[in-house]
Amino acid sequence: MDNIIDLTIVTQKFNNQHYNFNFKGFIFEYNKKNYIITIHHNLPIHKITYKSIELFNVINSCWNEFLILECNFSNFIIHKKYNISLPKKNVLLYFNNIEIIVYDIKFIPFNNLNNYPYKLPYIECNIKNKSHNYNFKGLSGMPVYNDKKDKIIGIFSKYNIQDNTLYIIPIYILIKTLNKIDNNNIYTVNNYLVNQTIFHPNLKYILPINIYFLLEGDKNMIFYKKKNIYNYIIDNNPLLYNNNYIEYYQFSDNIVYKYNLRLLTLLNKILKQDELIDIFKQFQQWNWLII
């Protein structure tokens, strides 16, 4: 049976055109239910397809890159085993039958916005055989295994071509996404707690407390620390809040797009640099883009 599913994300229309992006996915069993796991890279999704079959999403996460789809396939390998703790430095992992070495744990904004305070832990890896030329285009969404190839450690997200570094989303973030009630909001903490750290017992790693809240925050939850009670707070930043789709309106001959993360991600992938500069000049004046 096949291990990996070839997926296509068809974006919402921008300027009357859909755009297609290829990803990988795999079947993951959790709580006796099968899901197709891939990532959305913050793209505004119109539909997801496997060959000519349209798939339906269960979770299109607003706080991380995971896209979780319904699974009705029986001809693919089902992944059941995983390890939620973060791997140690210099540990060997396997990705697409390629040996990679854990270099570090890096905190990266999941939305790729520089200086954004809400970051997630990514496993930063180097390729063991640096003399070989690998092509990682279209491989986002593939599982990454431990040294025995029997447990999933994480999911491949991105590759830095300048220093040959791979970034893996830890499997724990997928488990949290499957368990959360609310994946459509960003949960944070009061500013006076931001510089504190806390040991995460599942990841076995010390995290900044705002990252801990981003991982563990959920609807109607509270956080206890030394007899103090802190509420998880929803970040209502309009750039991020409930931003899974592009919002647009038709006015006469003009289409007006609302400025949000999914729109910015799509523009970054389809436009040239000078076109992007012109658009950002518009955004400096108002929160709408007129086409």
Residue 120 lies in a domain: yes
Q: What is the CATH number of the domain that holds 117?
A: 2.40.10.10
Per DSSP bridges, beta strands 119-127 and 78-79 are unpaired
Residue 242 lies in a domain: no
Euclidean distance between CA atoms 183 and 162, whole angstroms:
33
220 residue type, one letter:
N
Return phi, psi of residue 115, to 5°: 65, 10
Shared domain for 75 and 103, answered yes or no, is no
Out of 191, 206, 235, a domain closes at 235
Q: What confidence score (pLDDT) does residue 217 get?
A: 86
At what angle are helices 273-285 and 261-270 packed, to 10 degrees? 150
Shared domain for 110 and 170, answered yes or no, is yes
Residue identified by tokens 């339906």 is 56
Residue 84 lies in a domain: no
The domain in which residue 213 lies consists of: 181-235
Q: How many domains does the chain have?
A: 4
Q: What confidence score (pLDDT) does residue 119 get?
A: 87
Euclidean distance between CA atoms 209 and 252, whole angstroms:
48
Shared domain for 62 and 135, answered yes or no, is no
Q: What is the CATH number of the domain that holds 46?
A: 2.40.10
Q: What confidence score (pLDDT) does residue 165 get?
A: 92
Out of 53, 79, 105, a domain closes at 79
Average pLDDT, 10 consecutive residues per value, the chain (291 residues): 93 90 96 96 94 93 94 93 96 93 92 73 91 85 94 95 91 97 81 73 90 86 63 59 69 74 86 79 61 53
Shared domain for 217 and 169, answered yes or no, is no
Residue 85 lies in a domain: no
Evaluate whether 1 touches 77 at the Cβ level (below 8 Å): yes
Shared domain for 155 and 209, answered yes or no, is no
Structure tokens at 27: 């079947």
Shared domain for 109 and 135, answered yes or no, is yes
**Measured at the alpha carbon of residue 201, what is the angle toward residues 27 and 62, in degrees to the nearest 5?**
50
**Measured at the alpha carbon of residue 223, what is the angle toward residues 219 and 225, in degrees to the nearest 5?**
180
Label each residue of the chain as H, E or C: CECCEEEEEEECCECCECCEEEEEEEEEEECCEEEEEEECCCCCEEEEEECCEEECEEEECCCCCEEEEECCCCCECEECCECCCCCCCCCEEEECCEEEEEEEEEEEECCCCCCCCCEEEEEEEEECCCCCCCCCCCCCCCEEECCCCCCEEEEEEEEECCCCEEEEEEHHHHHHHHHCCCCCCEEECCHHHCCCEEEECCCCEEEEHHHHHHHHCCCCCEEEECCEEEECEEECCCCCCCCCCCCEEEECCEEEEECCHHHHHHHHHHCCHHHHHHHHHHHHHCCEEEC
Q: What confidence score (pLDDT) does residue 233 get?
A: 63
Shared domain for 211 and 142, answered yes or no, is no
Q: What confidence score (pLDDT) does residue 237 get?
A: 58
